[in-house]
């Protein structure tokens, strides 16, 4: 009899080549995704006279520097356009598949991977981007790596890694009206903290996760990093298989049947031991937003801005005062009284068709009171949304309908929140300057962001959908 094993351990063992005495393991990498920021790694290979070891297992995607307002050129700014062009040159020279500007598959790297069937259960996937954890929603062990590690993977298709500890987060119960996957992960981070999962690989389990769509699971896994986790992972099930069936690079015919048979074994065994366990009751979760400059600084939209005077710890009091000063918030102020300047609906967290449908349902028949932009996560999603008429709903409501890309999530492509302005955003990070120098970011779900757009302030979406 073998000892009960976690899903993480099963995938890790499949990819372990050898282990050092200090516990660091050399892993075989199945898929490597690159974006424009990988030019440092390509330069390193070129300087060493090396080639990409497995170009057939490497996919490059233009997203971070791509302008959503000028997709034909890549970007209006020559310096940003040059970075995109370097990706084109590097991939062409090294024989790597590229979904670049104008390609029918182009989009955000963590949207394109699952959409094209590049992401599959049981694989080990890496990318030079922290939100690679997104792919764990399909039962794929996926995590971000640094620039030197990107070069190592390109050259060897292997990677040295120290095995993380395991944390199982069990979320049970039905979600209430207006509550989405984004609210679930924001609530979890507010409970365990932005460092609550540092050193851990998170496996999500429980009835709430099982009932959640694949797109919702991607949102959950995407923000595992904001809790400090190394990766997020969800066991594949029939929803996973239905999502992947007939995807471009998914197995076909008899190979599909064999693959599904194997994928069904990818779950934690009953009795498998985790280093840590956390449980969350979904009935405690309300539509939520962040109020500060860390994802852990989140609360229900019905809450009030914290008061530093109530803090006993002087250092905590000073930190909270500084946060409120940066965010331009008043202690005790109702969150629903906070006026916003602009809205961003997009990013690898919330730019899939399900997200756009949720936002459009709120925007329909209403009018935006502030600048609001909608950025689909990929070209196929953009075309699907347009076929469903979602683009026209947004346009009629005064929202801008943009091309695909990371856009205002990362603030390196020209889409910025001006200094001192407040943005209601569906992205994943709200630290100082994330969306531009001096920008103030509140994270929330697509429906909540749309509600902020049509009211001009942070708003409980339940008041607009008749569920308050």
- Write the CB contacts of 341 (distance below 8 Å, at least 6 apart in sequence): 370, 371, 417, 418, 421, 422, 423
Label residue 313 by pLDDT band (50, 70, 90): very high
Sorting pLDDT into bands at 50, 70 and 90, what band is 71?
confident
| CATH number assigned to the domain comprising residue 154 | 3.30.499.10
Strands (E) located in 165-296: 165-172, 200-205, 231-233, 276-281, 288-290
Phi, psi of 352 (to 5 degrees): -90, 170
Q: Is residue 436 part of a domain?
A: yes
Alpha-carbon gap, residue 81 to 383, rounded angstroms:
24
Same domain, 396 and 340: yes
Strand partners, 98: 60
Do 270 and 342 lie in one domain? The reply is no
Question: Which residues touch 254 (CB under 8 Å, ≥6 apart)?
Answer: none
334 in the same domain as 272: no
Tokens of 53: 């070891």
Nearest-angstrom CA–CA distance, 62 and 74: 9
Q: Residue 284 falls within a domain, yes or no? A: no
Domain count, the chain: 2
pLDDT band at 70 (very low <50, low <70, confident <90, very high): confident
366: containing domain: 289-459
Torsions phi, psi of 167, nearest 5?
Answer: -130, 120
Q: Please write down the HEC assignment for all residues of 29-52.
A: CCEEEECHHHHHHHHHHHHCCCCC
Question: What pLDDT was estimated at residue 274?
Answer: 98
105 & 248 share domain: yes
Same domain flag for 182 and 226? yes
For residue 468, what pLDDT is reported? 44
Q: Nearest-CA neighbor of 71 among 83, 86, 81?
A: 81
Does 466 have pLDDT greater than 90?
Answer: no
Query: Do residues 208 and 147 share a domain?
Result: yes
* pLDDT tens by residue, 398-451: 999 999 999 999 989 999 999 999 999 999 999 999 999 999 999 999 999 999
The CA angle 415-86-48, to the nearest 5 degrees, is 135
Q: What mean pLDDT is predicted for residues 332-351?
A: 98
Considering the domain architecture, whether residues 270 and 293 belong to the same structural domain is answered as no
Does the pLDDT value for residue 384 go beyond 70? Answer: yes
Over residues 267-285, the pLDDT tens digits come to 999 999 999 999 999 999 9
In a domain, 245, yes or no: yes
266 with 293, same domain? no
Q: Do 174 and 208 reside in the same domain of the chain? A: yes
> Residue 462 contacts by C-beta under 8 Å, 6 or more apart in sequence?
177, 178, 287, 468
* Averaged pLDDT for residues 71-99: 94
Q: Quote the CA–CA distance of 58 and 65 in Å, as a whole number.
A: 20
Percent of the chain surpassing pLDDT 70: 99
Looking at residue 467, its pLDDT comes to 54
Verify that 257 and 309 share a domain, yes or no: no
Cα–Cα distance for residue pair 332/457, rounded to 1 Å: 17
Judge whether residue 1 has pLDDT over 80: no
Q: What's the chain's average pLDDT?
A: 97
Tokens of 379: 């070209």
What is the average pLDDT across 88-110? Answer: 97
Question: How far is residue 45's CA from residue 37's CA, in Å, rounded to a whole number?
Answer: 15
Q: pLDDT per residue over 139-167, tens digit each?
A: 999 999 999 999 999 999 999 999 999 99
Residues 185 and 83 in one domain: yes
Position 1 in a domain: no
The answer to whether position 283 is within a domain reads no
Residues 130 and 194: their CA atoms lie apart, in Å, by: 14
Model pLDDT, residue 140: 98
Residues composing the chain: 468
Residue 53: predicted pLDDT: 98
Q: Are residues 388 and 268 in the same domain?
A: no
Cα separation, 187 vs 232, in Å, equals 16
Query: Which position has the token pair 């031991």?
Result: 273
In the chain, % of residues over pLDDT 90: 97
12 within domain boundaries? yes
Q: Is residue 256 part of a domain?
A: yes
Which of 277, 312, 330 terminates a domain? The answer is: 277
Q: Is residue 3 part of a domain?
A: no
- Cα–Cα distance measured from residue 250 to residue 358, given in angstroms and rounded to the nearest whole number: 28
Distance CA 60, CA 91 (A): 7
**Separation CA 25–CA 8 (nearest Å):** 14
Spatial separation of the C-alpha atoms in residues 461 and 454, rounded to whole Å: 11
Question: Domain boundary residue among 228, 252, 277?
Answer: 277
Of 257, 277, 297, the last residue of a domain is 277
pLDDT at 72: 80
Three-state secondary-structure class, residue 154: helix
């Amino acid at each position: 009899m073998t000892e009960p094993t976690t899903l993480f351990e099963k995938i890790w063992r499949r990819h372990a080549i050898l282990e050092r005495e200090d516990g660091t393991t050399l892993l075989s990498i199945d898929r490597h995704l690159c974006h424009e920021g990988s030019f440092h790694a390509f330069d390193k290979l070129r300087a060493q006279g090396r080639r990409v070891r497995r170009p057939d297992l490497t996919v490059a995607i233009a997203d971070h520097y791509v302008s959503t307002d000028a997709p034909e050129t890549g970007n209006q700014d020559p310096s940003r356009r040059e970075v995109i062009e370097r990706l084109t040159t590097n991939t062409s020279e090294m024989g790597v598949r590229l979904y670049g500007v104008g390609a029918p598959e182009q989009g955000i790297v963590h949207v394109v991977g699952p959409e094209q069937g590049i992401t599959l259960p049981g694989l080990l996937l890496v990318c030079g981007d922290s939100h690679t954890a997104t792919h764990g929603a399909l039962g794929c062990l996926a995590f971000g790596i640094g620039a030197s590690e990107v070069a190592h993977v390109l050259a060897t298709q292997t990677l040295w890694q120290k095995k993380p500890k395991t944390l199982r987060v069990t979320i049970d119960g039905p979600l209430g009206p207006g509550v989405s996957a984004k609210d679930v992960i924001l609530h979890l981070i507010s409970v365990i903290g932005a460092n609550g999962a540092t050193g851990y690989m998170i496996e999500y389990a429980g009835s709430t996760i099982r009932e959640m769509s694949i797109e919702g699971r991607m949102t959950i896994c995407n923000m595992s990093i904001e809790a400090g986790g190394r990766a997020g992972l969800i066991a594949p099930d029939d929803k996973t298989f239905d999502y992947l069936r007939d995807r471009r690079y998914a197995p076909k015919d008899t190979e599909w049947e064999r693959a599904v048979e194997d994928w069904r074994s990818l779950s934690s065994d009953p009795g498998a031991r985790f280093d840590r366990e956390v449980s969350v009751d979904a009935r405690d979760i309300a539509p939520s937003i962040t109020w500060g400059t860390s994802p852990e600084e989140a609360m229900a939209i019905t809450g009030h801005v914290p008061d530093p005077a109530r803090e006993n710890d002087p250092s905590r009091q000073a930190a909270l005062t500084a946060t409120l000063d940066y965010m331009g918030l008043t202690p005790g102020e109702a969150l629903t009284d906070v006026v916003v300047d602009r809205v961003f609906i997009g990013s690898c967290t919330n730019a899939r068709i399900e997200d756009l449908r949720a936002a459009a349902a709120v925007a329909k028949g209403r009018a935006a009171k502030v600048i609001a932009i909608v950025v689909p996560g990929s070209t196929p999603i953009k075309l699907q949304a347009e076929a469903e008429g979602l683009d026209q709903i947004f346009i009629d409501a005064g929202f801008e309908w943009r091309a695909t890309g990371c856009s205002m999530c990362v603030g390196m492509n020209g889409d910025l929140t001006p200094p001192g302005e407040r943005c209601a955003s569906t992205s994943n990070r709200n630290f100082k300057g994330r969306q531009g120098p001096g920008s103030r970011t509140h994270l929330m779900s697509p429906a909540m962001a749309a509600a902020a757009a049509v009211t001009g302030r942070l708003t409980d979406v339940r008041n607009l959908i008749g569920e308050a």
